[in-house]
Chain A
Amino acid sequence: MNLVSAENLTKIYNVGEIEIEALKSVSFNVQSASFVSFIGPSGSGKTTLLNLIGCLDKPTSGSLKVADVDTSSLTRKKAAVFRGINLGFIFQDFNLIPVLSVYENVEYPLLVVQNVSAEERKKRIASLLETVGMIDQRDKYPGQISGGQKQRVAIARALVTNPRLVLADEPTANLDSKTAFMVIDIMRKMKEEYGVTFIFSTHDQRVVNEVEAVYTLQDGMLVEDAIREGETNV
């Protein structure tokens, strides 16, 4: 079953009077519970593609369905609701809220976005922090933990709402090899445990080697795809 389905996806940015075609008629499908990576050099359109899948931006043309919803037609508010229910985000710079503790950062989407009950929140956060190995650091603030720990908290925050799809933009770019592997490992475990689909954008070979399917973008076009274990197709 396809969780993400893109057809002839095109994105053009207008910078002053210049038009930049960031994505050129890109078509692909991503199945549920898969571990997929988009790779390519800087400026190839990876982040643009992730932004479109994540309903953070709208395509100039083409169709994009995420969880059977045509996301290109969503209004700003509906897109926010959709993201809050279906998507999780992991950022290259972790993007934790500095004034909230580890626990509160993970709690934030449940409390402010989904209005989950206190008991349920407690249960889910404890379970996820345990899984990512951050339960002991729950009261620390982002400024008091390392980059790897921050990314583990970000993973917990992305998963705490039980999303169907987690989008990770260069999740290991700011991490050392050991930490990067640990983060990838955690994400893979999460995928297996919760059945969540992970889509990465990366040019980190360490990540590429760990994913099930790789799509290569160059100059906004999908030039190559590699499927591992037959779980993802184009």
Chain B
Amino acid sequence: MFKLFKIAIRNLMRYKRRTLLTSSLIALGVMFVLVFVAASGSFKYIMIGQITDSMLGHLQVHKRGYVASIDSLPLTLNLSAKQEEKLEKTIKGIPGIEAFSPRIKFGGMFSNFIETTNIRINGVYPDKEIATVPLFPSRIKQGEKAIKKGEILIPELLANGLKVKVGDTVVVIATNKDGSVNGKQFVVGGIIESVTGPGGRDGYMYIEDAMEVLRMEEIEISEVAVRLKDFGKLNAVNDKMDRLLSKELNKQGKPVFDVRTWERLSPFYNVARMIDVMTFFIKIMLIAIVLISIMNVMIMAVFERIREIGTIAAIGTMPEKILSLFLIEGFSLGISGAAAGSILAIIVVFVMNVVKITFNFGRQAGLALSPSLKVNDMLFISAIVIIASVIAALQPALKASRMEPVEALRHV
């Protein structure tokens, strides 16, 4: 086999320029795919990190049916104190969970005594909220990076629209689940960065203040956001939590709780999926490049060496060895292209990290792309290229191995 490799390499070196061009084409293809995978992966994880660490959490638990009506923030679908207690007990029993934050969410009116607009309020325990979504404080653009009793953090969108500043007194009015309306004065403790989507009108207050606005005698939770120790174990923890919580049934015999990962809660998941689909199609393009270029080279190689094939067949070389010889040539082209492409990709990714490419996402500016190449990705892309190379070489190699020696020797 080693000898066949040696002959195959020499055959490739016989047409140096052609081999170099083909290998370069494959190398460039591999490099572009790896750099794209690294950059898009980095973009994706920055975005996921931004969304989950500043607002959503990795997982959320609601009362079943709540998510379907989430736009209206229905207070009638909140978890009762008893249910919340059971939920907390279950969460605390799962080792992969780092933190969780119960939230009361409701819609209300926000007034600066001159103008009024609608607002979405999140009543939270500040310490639990920050432990669950650690980027939350970085969203507070003005004021103290904390949520205090009697204070409200209002979204930038409302602050600008109603010309409200930190320290101003405002009123929040809301209808509770019984239909009665209540209002409470708050001091604006901070102005929070608005996010893209309905969350752009989200304000924050202490959970007990929210209970007071809604005249709750005992706590009723709209959702519990959960942060995991290892984001990679998202599905495993989700499954475990779902399994444990599915034992809690309501009067109709249906599960009380609804556990969802961030993917089922954020529209950005579709963007992340689109990135994955784009990556998939780019890989398909790479395979096409490899298949076409190697098949072209190997067809040429077989055509140019017909007499040589006839000679080696005449002196007794078995068809399988002739097949192997050409397959090894394709394999060698593929492996050299994959290796060169991987090295180029490492260099390009290194340069990208040195240069620090920044981008804006929604209202967040200056996010730095930090692409990294994973060994698994490099091995996977290289394996795809090598397999495609061998497949591309298969047809010409079969043709060579099936050639009748007498006809091959007659070829001019």
Q: Which 6 A-B pairs have the closest CB atoms?
A: A84-B316, A99-B10, A95-B311, A113-B316, A56-B406, A57-B406
CB-defined contacts of B3 to chain A, threshold 8 Å: 111-112
CB-defined contacts of B315 to chain A, threshold 8 Å: 83-84, 88-89, 108-109, 113, 157-158
Asked, given contacts A56-B409, A57-B406, A95-B311, whether A100 binds B7 with beta carbons under 8 Å apart, the answer is yes
Proximity bits, B1-34, A CB within 8 Å = 1, else 0: 0011001001101100000000000000000000
Verify A85–B311 contact, CB threshold 8 A: no
Chain A min CB distance to B316 (Å): 2
* Interface residue? A98 (CB, 8 A): yes
Verify A95–B308 contact, CB threshold 8 A: yes
Closest to A54 in B: B314
Chain A min CB distance to B412 (Å): 10
**28 A-B pairs in the complex with CB atoms less than 8 angstroms apart:** A51-B406, A56-B404, A56-B406, A57-B404, A80-B313, A80-B317, A80-B318, A80-B319, A82-B316, A83-B316, A84-B315, A85-B316, A87-B316, A89-B311, A89-B315, A91-B311, A93-B307, A95-B311, A97-B312, A98-B14, A109-B315, A111-B3, A112-B3, A112-B4, A113-B316, A113-B318, A114-B316, A158-B315
Closest to A85 in B: B316
Complex Cα gap A87–B316 (Å): 9
* Interface residue? A81 (CB, 8 A): yes
* Interface residue? B405 (CB, 8 A): yes
Q: Which residues A135-158 have CB closer than 8 A to chain B?
A: 157-158
Verify A108–B11 contact, CB threshold 8 A: no
User: Of B7, B14, B311, B319, which is within 8 A of A77 by CB?
Assistant: B319
Chain B min CB distance to A136 (Å): 22
Given contacts A88-B315, A91-B409, 14 further A-B contacts (CB under 8 A): A54-B314, A56-B406, A77-B319, A80-B319, A82-B316, A84-B316, A87-B316, A97-B7, A99-B7, A99-B10, A99-B14, A108-B315, A109-B316, A157-B315
Complex Cα gap A176–B286 (Å): 54
Verify B316–A81 contact, CB threshold 8 A: yes
Q: Which residues A28-75 have CB closer than 8 A to chain B?
A: 51, 54, 56-57
Complex Cα gap A68–B312 (Å): 24
Complex Cα gap A89–B409 (Å): 12
Chain A min CB distance to B409 (Å): 7
For chain B, the bracket of interface size reads 20 to 34
Proximity bits, A112-126, B CB within 8 Å = 1, else 0: 111000000000000
Interface centre among B317, B321, B409 (most CB of A within 10 A): B409
Verify A77–B409 contact, CB threshold 8 A: no
Chain A min CB distance to B84 (Å): 77
CB-defined contacts of B317 to chain A, threshold 8 Å: 80, 84, 112-113
User: Of A77, A95, A158, which is within 8 A of B318 by CB?
Assistant: A77
* Interface residue? A189 (CB, 8 A): no
* Interface residue? A206 (CB, 8 A): no
Chain A min CB distance to B41 (Å): 43
Complex Cα gap A93–B412 (Å): 11
Give A residues with C-beta under 8 Å from B: 51, 54, 56-57, 76-77, 80-85, 87-89, 91, 93, 95, 97-100, 108-109, 111-114, 157-158, 161
CB-defined contacts of A99 to chain B, threshold 8 Å: 7, 10-11, 13-14
Proximity bits, B331-369, A CB within 8 Å = 1, else 0: 000000000000000000000000000000000000000
Chain B min CB distance to A120 (Å): 15
Chain A min CB distance to B398 (Å): 14
Verify B318–A81 contact, CB threshold 8 A: yes
CB-defined contacts of A76 to chain B, threshold 8 Å: 319
Verify A56–B316 contact, CB threshold 8 A: no
Closest to A58 in B: B406
Complex Cα gap A111–B315 (Å): 12
Complex Cα gap A93–B240 (Å): 75
CB-defined contacts of A56 to chain B, threshold 8 Å: 314, 404-406, 409
Verify B10–A100 contact, CB threshold 8 A: yes
Asked, given contacts A57-B406, A77-B319, A95-B307, whether A89 binds B314 with beta carbons under 8 Å apart, the answer is yes
Complex Cα gap A99–B329 (Å): 14
Proximity bits, B385-412, A CB within 8 Å = 1, else 0: 0000000000000000000111001000
Complex Cα gap A99–B314 (Å): 18
Complex Cα gap A109–B14 (Å): 21
Chain A min CB distance to B315 (Å): 5
Chain A min CB distance to B13 (Å): 8
CB-defined contacts of B405 to chain A, threshold 8 Å: 56
Asked, given contacts A56-B409, A112-B4, whether A97 binds B308 with beta carbons under 8 Å apart, the answer is yes
Chain B min CB distance to A216 (Å): 23
Chain B min CB distance to A10 (Å): 16
User: Of A87, A98, A108, A161, which is within 8 A of B312 by CB?
Assistant: A108
Chain A min CB distance to B230 (Å): 54
Complex Cα gap A99–B305 (Å): 12
Complex Cα gap A77–B7 (Å): 22
Closest to B313 in A: A80
Interface centre among A98, A99, A113, A157 (most CB of B within 10 A): A99
Chain B min CB distance to A101 (Å): 10
CB-defined contacts of B312 to chain A, threshold 8 Å: 97, 108, 112
Chain B min CB distance to A121 (Å): 11
CB-defined contacts of B311 to chain A, threshold 8 Å: 89, 91, 95, 97
Complex Cα gap A144–B307 (Å): 20
